[in-house]
Amino acid sequence: MKHAETAARTRGTTSEIPDVDVTLNINGESYRLRFDSRVTLLDALRDHLGLTGAKKGCDQGACGACTVLVDGKRIVACLALAAQYEGREITTIEGLAENGEPHPMQEAFARHDAFQCGYCTPGQIMSAVSLMAEGRAGTDDDICEYMSGNICRCGAYPNIRAAIREVVTEGNDASL
């Protein structure tokens, strides 16, 4: 009996959670949205804006497939409440190219076949771009350590490291 009462009480509170009006700055454009205050940044991007580059992998912040940049720093969007990022500069894989040209990291990933199934690739690239901006791509050990939050189930790690090393070595401006 207690369980049924608790379940009924819980169901009743769901409708009491207010919607919020939020303006998100994504890839240089502003979007005015209204959604439940519990919506994650990942769900806002994918479900409300159709930006499906960031992937829903584990939905627990452990795989990195949903990595995006906020004010130039990487975050896992599945653990971030969208409303908290109002007024911040959000960059997704869709916004990485400039003037129709792929980002140097995107080009390096393609050259080095740094993907197999491709599911983790957007998160890997976003994390790699941030890694470069952070100045943490000095050695293979550094790359392994600071990319450890991004899992590739296909095991393309050697190619991912090679792509990052290429961009570092060539001195390409891999930052935003």
Asked whether residue 63 is domain-assigned, the answer is: yes
The pLDDT tens digits of the residues spanning 116-140 come to 999 999 999 999 999 999 999 989 9
Same domain, 109 and 162: yes
Asked whether residue 13 is domain-assigned, the answer is: no
Same domain, 80 and 123: no
Question: For residue 86, what is the domain's CATH number?
Answer: 3.10.20.30
Same domain, 110 and 159: yes
Q: At 176, is the pLDDT very low, low, confident or very high (cuts 50, 70, 90)?
A: low
Asked whether residue 1 is domain-assigned, the answer is: no
Quote the CA–CA distance of 112 and 161 in Å, as a whole number. Answer: 9
Question: For residue 110, what is the domain's CATH number?
Answer: 1.10.150.120
Domain final residue, candidates 34, 68, 93: 93
Asked whether residue 176 is domain-assigned, the answer is: no
Asked whether residue 5 is domain-assigned, the answer is: no
Mean pLDDT of 62-75: 97
Mean pLDDT of 89-97: 97
Tokens of 8: 């009924």
Quote the CA–CA distance of 116 and 155 in Å, as a whole number. Answer: 8
Per-residue confidence (pLDDT) for residue 165, from 0 to 100? 96
The pLDDT tens digits of the residues spanning 46-59 come to 999 999 999 999 99
Supply angle C-alpha 68, 36, 33, rounded to 5.
65
Same domain, 87 and 110: no
Q: Report pTM.
A: 0.87
Same domain, 135 and 76: no
Same domain, 112 and 88: no
- CB neighbourhood size of 110 (10 A): 13
Tell me the residue range of the domain where 144 lies: 104-170
Query: pLDDT at residue 88 above 90?
Result: yes
Query: pLDDT at residue 30 above 80?
Result: yes
Q: Which residues of 147-160 are buried (b: 16+ CB within 10 A; e: fewer)?
A: beebbbeeebbebb
Q: How far is CA 19 from CA 10, 23, 37, 166, in A?
A: 18, 13, 6, 46
